[in-house]
Amino acid sequence: MNEKSLVSAADLTKVYGSGSSAVRAVDNVTMKVSSGELVLIMGPSGSGKTTLLSMLGGLLKPTSGHIFINGVEITTLSESLLPDVRAREIGFIFQAFNLLSSLNAEENVLFPAGLVSGGSRKARQRGLDLLERLGLSHRKHFLPKNLSGGEKQRVAIARALINNPKLILADEPTGNLDSRTGHEVMMILHDIAREEGRTVIIVTHDPRLEDVADRILWLEDGRLTNRKEEAHLWVRDPVCGMRVDQWTATYLATWQGARYFFCSQRCLERFQAQPAQYLKQAASGQ
């Protein structure tokens, strides 16, 4: 194992089902990610990206292979020890935000701090600092249902950082955000890696994140492969104008016989509400 690697996986395989119905979601993946590195895992839908991320986060046991985080092999840890690893060493950021609906923003941020011994002592001030830094001080007493998508994701980021983890795992962190908010979140993740030296691994379809990534791992049929540049076909999201890879895009709609591709669920929904208006705007270059 590389001494500088914070995360490394060796011969990682995950098989769902058995016999003739067995599916190799992740197939013999070996990878290393260093401290302070921002790495994207990209690839077509169903290529095994989320399964790989789940295993790296200790949320899913691999069928075979080994994962080391900060020098400790988590694949051999018992179920009773894994939660502490997740609480201390890993911060999670999700596409659907996954805030706890009954807790307000501040309580959501502080929640993981209460799960580690001694974590809650200085956590309150740190939580307030994080909310301040992410521009959410004035919203700290709001329940998630009263926050915008961008605010929810910033709360989720603060929550991921509260225990000072060395590793941040993010699954489509900009997937449910409009282009402006998505860009904000992208820059926050960039700062987390650059300024704080944390390792950030992001599963995404969002090509904007490529601009801030140190490395891109391309996953296809469960295997890490070279990225097929020629397979990309860049189109514009008719709602926000963002560049979208037609080949890997998750959000798409057909209207009047033509197919359109979107950067996020939000843009897709906006388009579906008023397709003619957005196509007219796109045609006029607005």
Partner 1 sequence: MWTLPRCSSGSPMMRLAFKNLLHEPVRLLISTGGVAAALFLVLLLEGVFEGTSQQLVTYLEKSDADVWVMQKGVSNMHMATSVLPMRVQESLAAMPEVQSATPILYASLPVQIQDRRWLSYVVGVRPGEKRGGPWAMAEGATSPKPGEAVVSNVMAKKAGVGLGDSVHILSREVKVVGLSQETFSMANSITFVSYSDMEDILATPAAASYFLVKARPGVLPDVLSERVRQAVPGVNAMTREQFVASDRTMAQQMGTDLISVMTAIGYMVGVAIIGLTIYTATVSRAREYGVVKALGTRNSQLMALVALQALAISVLGSLVATALAYLTSPMLKVLVPEIPLVYSMASLIRLVLIAIAIAALASLLPAYRVARVEPAIVFKE
The contact set with partner 1 (CB under 8 A) reads 50, 53-54, 57, 59-60, 72, 79-81, 83-89, 92, 94-96, 98, 100-103, 107, 110-117, 120, 159, 171
Q: Is the CB of residue 14 less than 8 Å from the CB of residue 51?
A: yes
Report the nearest approach of partner 1 to the CB of residue 256 (Å).
27
If the CB atoms of residues 219 and 278 are measured against partner 1, the closer one turns out to be: 219
Do the beta carbons of residue 175 and residue 149 sit within 8 Å?
no
Structure tokens at 264: 């996020």
Nearer Cβ to partner 1, position 88 or 133? Answer: 88
Nearest CB to partner 1, comparing residues 5 and 51: 51
As measured in angstroms, the least distance from the Cβ of 126 to partner 1 is 15
Nearest approach, Cβ of residue 86 and partner 1 (Å):
4
Sign of CA dihedral 11, 71, 217, 269: positive
Helix (H) or strand (E) holding 245: strand 243-245
Phi, psi at 102, each rounded to 5°: -90, -10
Provide the minimum distance between the beta carbon of 89 and partner 1 in the complex, in angstroms, as a whole number.
8
CB of 51 to partner 1, least distance (A): 8
- Tell the smallest beta-carbon distance from residue 192 to partner 1 (Å): 17
| Closer CB to partner 1, 87 or 168, in the complex | 87
Residue 202 CA to residue 38 CA, distance in Å, equals 8
Cβ nearer to partner 1, comparing 120 with 137:
120
The CA distance from 86 to 90, in Å, is 5
Helix (H) / strand (E) element for 28: namely: strand 23-34
SS3 234: strand
- Which residue type is seen at 144? P
Between 20 and 76, name the residue whose CB sits nearer to partner 1. Answer: 76
